[in-house]
Amino acid sequence: MTDARTMLSFSIETETKKGVIEQPVPVPGPGEVLIKMSVVGICGSDIHYYRSAACGAFQIREAFTPGHEACGVVEALGDGVTGLEVGQLSAINPSRTCGECSHCLDGDNHLCTNNGFMGSASRFPHSQGMMKEYFLVKQGQCYPVPDETPVEQLACAEPFSVALHALQRAGNLFGKRVLIVGGGTIGQLAAIGAKLAGASFVALSDPTEHARTVAQQVGVDVSVDSLLPLDQKLDTLGLFDVCLEAAGAEPALADCIELLKRKGVIVQIGTLPIMQGRANFNAIMAKELDYRGSFRFHQEFRHAVELIVSGKVDLSPILSGSYPLSQASKAFDRAVEGGTATKLTVLAER
* Contact set with Zn ion (CB under 5 A): 43, 97-98, 101, 104, 112, 114, 159
- Cα separation, 218 vs 216, whole angstroms: 6
User: Least Å distance between CB 3 and Zn ion?
Assistant: 30
Quick check: 137 and 35 in contact, CB under 8 A? yes
User: Least Å distance between CB 160 and Zn ion?
Assistant: 10
Which one, 97 or 127, has the nearer CB to Zn ion? 97
Do you know the residue count of the chain? Answer: 350
Q: What is the DSSP string of 149-166?
A: S-HHHHTTHHHHHHHHHH
Which one, 171 or 248, has the nearer CB to Zn ion? 248
User: Least Å distance between CB 340 and Zn ion?
Assistant: 19
Amino acid identity, position 49: Y
H-helix or E-strand containing 230?
helix 230-237
Which one, 21 or 98, has the nearer CB to Zn ion? 98
Which residues, 6+ apart, have CB-to-CB distance to 299 below 8 Å?
A: none
Q: How many CA atoms lie within 13 A of 274 on its CB side?
A: 2
Neighbours of 41 (CB within 10 A): 27
Phi-psi region of 80 (alpha: psi -120 to 50; beta: other; left: phi over 0): left
User: Least Å distance between CB 57 and Zn ion?
Assistant: 18
Which one, 43 or 92, has the nearer CB to Zn ion? 43
Which one, 129 or 264, has the nearer CB to Zn ion? 129
- Cα separation, 350 vs 334, whole angstroms: 23
- Cα separation, 165 vs 193, whole angstroms: 10
User: Least Å distance between CB 148 and Zn ion?
Assistant: 25
Which one, 55 or 265, has the nearer CB to Zn ion? 55
User: Least Å distance between CB 96 and Zn ion?
Assistant: 10
Between CA 293 and CA 301, with CA 298 as vertex, the angle to 5 degrees is 120
Quick check: 273 and 248 in contact, CB under 8 A? yes
User: Least Å distance between CB 320 and Zn ion?
Assistant: 15
Which one, 53 or 269, has the nearer CB to Zn ion? 269
User: Least Å distance between CB 222 and Zn ion?
Assistant: 27
Q: Which of 127, 145, 102, 114 has its CA nearest to residue 302?
A: 145
H-helix or E-strand containing 255?
helix 250-258
User: Least Å distance between CB 100 and Zn ion?
Assistant: 6
Max CA pair span of the chain: 65
Which one, 28 or 41, has the nearer CB to Zn ion? 41
Quick check: 219 and 191 in contact, CB under 8 A? yes
Which one, 27 or 98, has the nearer CB to Zn ion? 98
H-helix or E-strand containing 320?
strand 319-324
